[in-house]
Amino acid sequence: MQDIYILFQVAGVGIIVAIIHTVLKQMGKEDIAHWATLIGFIIVLVIVIDYLSRLFNQIKSVFILQMIM
């Protein structure tokens, strides 16, 4: 059940990063805004890659793909 929170967290990060981006753009600091978006993207990427590796390990065990993959 705790997986749903991950989805909400990722969506929250996406929205917050977008807001930060627009606020920084209004303040005139365009480049910092792009950096903020990039950092937000990296955070979400780390979370997703963690789940992706967990998924691939489970696939290897379920489908007996050890010696091939």
Partner 1 sequence: MGSILQLFVIIMVAAMLVVIVREQNESISFLLVLLLGIFVFLFVLNQVEQLFNLFQSIVSKFDVSLLHLDTMIKVIGVAYLTEFISQLLKDAQLNSVAVKVEIVGKLFILLLALPIFISVLETLMSFIPQ
Task: Name the site residues for partner 1 (rule: CB under 8 A).
Answer: 1, 3-4, 6-8, 10-11, 13-15, 17-19, 21, 37, 40-41, 44-45, 47-48, 51-52, 54-55, 58-59, 62-65, 68
Which pair of structure tokens corresponds to residue 1? 């059940």
- Tell me the three state secondary structure of residue 65: coil
Minimum distance between the CB of residue 18 and partner 1, rounded to whole angstroms? 3
Give the total residue count for the chain: 69
User: HSE (CB half, 13 Å, CA atoms) of 56?
Assistant: 7
In the complex with partner 1, which residue's Cβ is closer, 32 or 37? 37
